[in-house]
Chain A
Amino acid sequence: MTYLTLEERPLPIGSIGTRSSGWWAMLFVIITEGAIFVFLQFSYYYIALQQPPAAAWPPSGPPAMDLSLPSTLILLASSATFWWGEHSIKCGSRLWLTLGLLASLVLGAVFVAIQGLEWSHQHFNYATHIYGSLYFTLTGFHIAHVVVGLVIIAALLAWSLLGYFNGARYAAVSTGGLYWHFVDAVWLTLFFTFYIMPRLR
């Protein structure tokens, strides 16, 4: 086949789902953001492995899971509600999109609140010891990402209420969703590093 002439077929116009440049840009944002978390984790394990064998790691023992386990499930649920909202607008339901986004916003905010509670319960801060520096920096980077994600969801919610989206035009929702699912997936890696890994030793 040659590409000499354009085929005589209609092409969609404007911002259409995964054909929009914004969606592709978000894909690469995620790749570079993912690299940040890879290097954060590298720093954590590099330093953890260089501690003297006699020293306890983490210094105050494995952190409790009574807050973090529920909050993890809540964050995962927020991904599911987002997915449901995006799925609904593809089928043309603006109502379910709005409800899905609202649910994700609330669940995400609850996650941030629980994380804040967990932070305030720690008996150390970022300057107490190297574990404190790592713990607050890694979880802090993640919370910052969640907050950005919540701002994005709030904007999408407002735009949805303004009637900007329908079954053909929802590229902004897909783009925001990509980011939100990424932020949730990254949390699982941090959860593993901070809460599971010390228990495996």
Chain B
Amino acid sequence: MVTVADYSRVPEVTPADYGSPLAERLETLWETKPGLIGWFGTVDHKEIGLRYLVTSFAFLILGGIEAAVMRLQLSWHDQTVLTPTQYNELFSMHGVTMIFLYAMPVLSGFSNYLWPLILGSRDMALPRLNAFSYWLYLFSGLFLYAGFIIGAGPNDGWFNYVPYASKPYNPGLNQDFYALGFILFGLSQTVGGINFMVTALRTRAPGMSINRFPMMIWGTLTASAGNLLAIPSVSLAFFMLWTDRQLGTHFYNAPEGGQPLLWQHLFWMFGHPWVYAIVLPAMSMVSDALPVFCRRPLVAQTAVALATVVTMIIGFGVWVHHMFATGLPNLSMSFFNAASLIIVVPSAISVFAWIATIRTGRFVLCTASLFFASFIFLFVIGGVSGFLTAAIPVDWQVTDTYFVVGHIHYVLIGINLFAVMGGIYFWFPKMTGHMLNERLGRWNFWLMFAGFNLGFFPMHIAGLLGMPRRIYTFPDGVGWNIVNLITTLGAYLFAIGFVVLLANVLLSRKHGAVAGPNPWDAAGLEWSVPSPPPPYNFVVIPTVSSRHPLWEDRLRETEGHSSIHEGAVLDADKETLGVSTMDAIPDVILKMPHDSVMPFVLALCITGVFVGLLLLSLVAIGTSLVLGLVAALVWLWPRAELGQRTEAVP
């Protein structure tokens, strides 16, 4: 007979020792088993995070190669490197790759790797869902590129306006690959977002109350919430595009009462929150890492955290500024004009907080801090050009010109890629145990910084000179030759700088200086564990009593003291603590799942459904659905060892 006492236990508290028998026992419990099953079945957040990072960088390189070919085509007038059709697919695929397959997943990679370490937990709240999200992401990328390789890639730009995307004007499979591939990708980001939400709310170290969240939690949490509300919009838009094309519905078909503008509304209701989703986590990475190089906490951390959330909320009310040229009523355009100007305020709060942090701290010059500081500079340029185009008259002048192309690259490369570069220099030692080479790092930084500004600033001028975006070539005598040549040269310089990073990573991965647990003398919990961290992260679960657990002796800003070196053991199978949402008081010992190949199998089955939809094959759809149902049942079947059934667990 089972008694209620068998369902509960007082966690044992011991000192932390990463060489103890306890650590060995945890290692055996938590490590991924070798072999193929382990490779396909791992649920370790660090492994999944690294896979996210490597895969997104592979897509970044692909997108970069596409850009390099386009810049050759546009380097001078009347070039013939590409045909118009090839150019259309290249610039569309470049956008899709960078904005979807690189920009968000790379941040998911950092967050997946770092969150449990920052939060003082042993894994994400839903480890199998985490693996599922990665596999879906990988398969969606392969799906989209399969179309591109057979010459049926997206060809209508990343925002894909109808009616050009509709069947009469675009009869090939190009748009079907894009529509279905995107829905698959959106699914991966949705399940990833759900995992981040649950993890931030439920699996933190005791004491990490909501006011003690590290900034990176705020950034990714906000972006995930935004994604959960925004992605359905564009997934639905793509679904309706696909039914319009293949089943003959009329959503975007004006002669039958449909509305082409519906596409633009649904796309930008997603698209604008999305651009905040792909920069807010990067901004919050800087908010956490930049202060380490200023030897002081972030200035106005509470204000910056609130600004992050407010940016996302206002970000849902600015989508029409992408549609100022579509002839909407003046009243509604004025509203969105105002909202687009107001959103500058929270961004400015962050910028001034970063500047004040540098100004009032002792700035340590190194590659990582150079990337973070230049990130602020590029953010201001991209922000100002965004502020300009938020005003309707300016927008009417520069819409669909290279000015907008310059803006988007300053925003996305400046705020996303430069933060990611700094993040790599900052967290690489944690991930590998080795420092990146500093001399190569300086070359890396200055080449990329110079190349970027040389290449992309002239795009603003090309736009003001009237050069439209998305043209595959231009005639002589319109004054665009020099400015385009400079852009091409800058872009290649930028690419060379990026190659230096790859060389640095390959070189330093094994041979870099040994990092030790905390090479930067940083404040976050992730720096309290060995580098690279063991599979179980923390030998005992720490308890947190301030925002800067490792700096408490110096800051003396709280009465209590975080307990890093002593904490709950939790070694009966894979376990971690669940805590209350606001105050982080422990309320449950969570049983964590072991490796499972079911996430991989289910992701494969769902991809099979999309392949079936693409080929309009009911057999493929039906088979995939049935197999997927079986996989889902195996995955979710209640297990005694996870404490999901009546049996008592130890």
Contact = CB atoms under 8 A, between A and B. Distances in A.
A35 B240 contact: no
B126 interface: yes
User: Which of A21, A33, A126 has the most C-beta atoms of chain B within 10 angstroms of its own C-beta?
Assistant: A21
Given A11-B11, A169-B643, 15 more contacts: A4-B543, A4-B563, A5-B13, A14-B591, A21-B590, A31-B228, A31-B229, A32-B190, A35-B232, A38-B232, A39-B236, A127-B250, A137-B249, A169-B7, A172-B638
Contact of B229 (A32, A42, A132): A32
20 contacts: A3-B209, A4-B563, A5-B563, A11-B577, A11-B586, A12-B7, A12-B8, A13-B589, A14-B644, A15-B643, A21-B198, A25-B198, A28-B198, A32-B190, A32-B231, A33-B232, A126-B243, A127-B248, A127-B250, A130-B251
A29 interface: yes
Interface residues of B, number: 77
B589 A12 contact: yes
With most chain A CB atoms within 10 A of its CB, the pick from B209, B253, B563, B644 is B644
A15 B646 contact: no
Given A11-B10, A14-B642, A19 B587 contact: yes
A159 B646 CA distance: 11
Given A6-B11, A11-B11, A43-B262, A32 B194 contact: yes
A10 B646 contact: no
B644 A169 contact: yes
Interface stretch (A45-53, A74-82, A98-106, A112-120): A45-53
B10 A9 contact: yes
B644 A3 contact: no
B118 interface: no
Given A3-B543, A164-B644, A164-B645, A14 B7 contact: yes
A133 B190 contact: no
A3 B545 contact: yes
Nearest to B266: A39
Nearest to B647: A169
A9 B10 CA distance: 6
A137 B243 CA distance: 9
A108 B387 CA distance: 52
A15 B584 contact: no
Contacts of B243: 126, 133, 137
B251 A133 contact: yes
A61 interface: no
Most A CB atoms within 10 A — which of B203, B251, B559? B251
B348 to A, nearest CB: 29
A51 to B, nearest CB: 6
Interface in B369-398: none
Contact of B638 (A6, A50, A164): A164
A163 B646 contact: yes
Top-6 shortest CB links A-B: A14-B643, A3-B207, A2-B560, A133-B249, A130-B257, A127-B248
Contacts of A192: none
Contacts of B60: none
A4 B644 contact: no
Interface string A125-151: 011011111100100000000000001
Given A21-B126, A25-B126, A151-B629, A50 B4 contact: no
A13 B240 contact: no
B10 A8 contact: yes
B568 A6 contact: yes
Contacts of B251: 43, 47, 130, 133-134
Contacts of B129: 25
Nearest to B572: A13
A39 B265 CA distance: 10
Given A21-B125, A43-B236, A151-B629, A127 B247 contact: yes
A93 interface: no
Contact of B578 (A7, A21, A35, A129): A21
Interface in B493-550: 543-545
Interface in B1-40: 2, 4-5, 7-11, 13
Interface in B90-138: 125-126, 129
Nearest to B560: A2
Interface string A147-189: 0000100010001000111101101100000000000000000
Contacts of A168: 4, 7, 646
Given A2-B545, A5-B13, A25-B198, A47 B258 contact: yes
Interface in B200-237: 201-203, 206-207, 209, 228-233, 235-236
B232 A169 contact: no
A63 to B, nearest CB: 18
Nearest to B194: A28
A13 B568 CA distance: 14
Contacts of B9: 10-11, 13
Contacts of B586: 6-7, 11
Contacts of A151: 629
Contacts of B198: 21, 24-25, 28
Contact of A24 (B125, B248, B642): B125
Nearest to B227: A32
A35 B643 CA distance: 32
